[in-house]
Amino acid sequence: MSIIAFVDSYQKKIKKSAFEVVSYAKNIADQSGKGLKVVAFNVDDVSELEKYGATDIIKVNDAQLDAFSAKTYAEALLSVTEGSIYVLSHSNMGSSIGAFLSIKKQATLITNVLSIPSSMSPFTVKRKSFSGKGIMEVTAATDQIVVTVMPNSFGAQEAAGTGSISEASATTSGNTITVNSIAETSGKVSLKEADIVVSGGRGLKGPENWGMVEELADLLGAATACSKPVADIGWRPHSEHVGQTGIALAPNLYIAIGISGAIQHLAGVNASKKILVINNDPEAPFFKAADYGVCGDAFEVVPALIEKIKAAKA
């Protein structure tokens, strides 16, 4: 039976994490010698998936799937194809569908997966635990498996090959969730999927000073984020709050400006590949978790850094 990759999408567009999911599933398919099927719901253009090794793409277009319901999505997925291993993103959408799939198929569900399996039989893999303060290696008891991949942990990897795109119709027991309205909460770049995140803390003194954070983010194609007190005071929206009780991230580069680096903040960002800390307190705990540090006043360092990056890019 095939390996199935599910494509996270929103408003008919593929999410970046889906390319990572396809890459991950392709890796498993190659390791196990099984075929790979990639399933996308209500997506306009799926051809970009082929760049990541999706040779067998199943497109489903159905008004019942306009409103996200984990149950309806899981039923629809199982009605168009079945496999032995399902790979989804560890997003709110992917993890919810994964849970329904695992119950319906009596499959082992492994969430927040950080790396490719070290063994295919029994399926053994590392996953995040204790908010990144621990890594857990687990083995599945069944051959049927559902994995959800922590965004940015494996990366999207291009793979040559073209394939077929087919359309299928889904059968479900009906969607009982109605969407009344939708509001975008992320800026130009979605926070959880961003390669680079520029984040500000209480050291920035007030919301009027976020212009330089946004400018630096724009320059790097980054998303913006903030520490919890900044969201609590209302300087920035709650959707930007990262940390143990906010969003957990694993970008390639996390830039922390005027953030102390409390344990609860680190818990959400410690999976970042590189961390740059700008803080005027040499004793700020964040420096211990950083790769690069600048001890200085953010109001001088950040504007100067922006000018230097502009010059370097020119």
Ligand X SMILES: Cc1cc2nc3c(=O)[nH]c(=O)nc-3n(C[C@H](O)[C@H](O)[C@H](O)COP(=O)(O)OP(=O)(O)OC[C@H]3O[C@@H](n4cnc5c(N)ncnc54)[C@H](O)[C@@H]3O)c2cc1C
Residue written as token pair 């959707």: 239
Q: Which helix (H) or strand (E) holds 59?
A: strand 56-60
Beta carbon nearer to another protein, 1 or 67? 67
Of 171, 137, 191, the closest CA to residue 65 belongs to 171
Q: Which helix (H) or strand (E) holds 148?
A: strand 145-149
Beta carbon nearer to another protein, 121 or 313? 313
Q: Per CB under 6 A, which of residues 38..57 are in contact with ligand X?
A: none
Q: Please report how close the Cβ of residue 136 comes to ligand X at its closest, in angstroms.
A: 21
Position of minimal CB gap to ligand X: 243
Of 7, 73, 18, the closest CA to residue 40 belongs to 7
267-295 core/surface letters (b: 16 or more CB in 10 A; e: else): bbbbbbeebbbbbeeeebbbbebbeebbe
Cβ atoms of residues 53 and 36 within 8 Å: yes
Residue 143 interacts with another protein (CB under 8 A): yes or no: no
Residue 233 interacts with another protein (CB under 8 A): yes or no: no
Q: Per CB under 6 A, which of residues 248..277 are in contact with ligand X?
A: 258-260, 262, 264-265, 268
Residue 140 in tokens: 């599945």
Residue 314 interacts with another protein (CB under 8 A): yes or no: no
Beta carbon nearer to another protein, 2 or 144? 144
3-state secondary structure of 112: strand
Q: Per CB under 6 A, which of residues 163..222 are in contact with ligand X?
A: 201-203
Q: Please report how close the Cβ of residue 150 comes to another protein at its closest, in angstroms.
A: 9
Q: Which stretch binds another protein (CB under 8 A): 40-48, 77-85, 199-207, 282-290?
A: 282-290
Alpha-carbon span 300 to 105, nearest angstrom: 57
- Residue 291 binding result from another protein, ligand X, none, given CB thresholds of 5 to 8 Å by partner type: another protein
Residue 175 in tokens: 């969607």
Beta carbon nearer to another protein, 160 or 183? 183
- Residue 268 binding result from ligand X, another protein, none, given CB thresholds of 5 to 8 Å by partner type: ligand X
Of 258, 244, 243, 264, the closest CA to residue 210 belongs to 258
3-state secondary structure of 264: helix
Q: Which of 30, 137, 143, 158 binds another protein (CB under 8 A)?
A: 137
Beta carbon nearer to another protein, 200 or 261? 261
Q: Which helix (H) or strand (E) holds 89?
A: strand 83-89
Residue 62 CB coordination number (10 Å)? 16
Beta carbon nearer to another protein, 93 or 165? 93
Q: Which of 77, 126, 279, 290 binds ligand X (CB under 6 A)?
A: 279
Alpha-carbon span 112 to 307, nearest angstrom: 38
Beta carbon nearer to another protein, 65 or 165? 65
Q: Which stretch binds ligand X (CB under 6 A): 12-20, 111-119, 154-162, 239-247?
A: 239-247
Contact residues for ligand X (CB under 6 A)?
201-203, 227-230, 243-246, 258-260, 262, 264-265, 268, 278-281, 284, 297-299
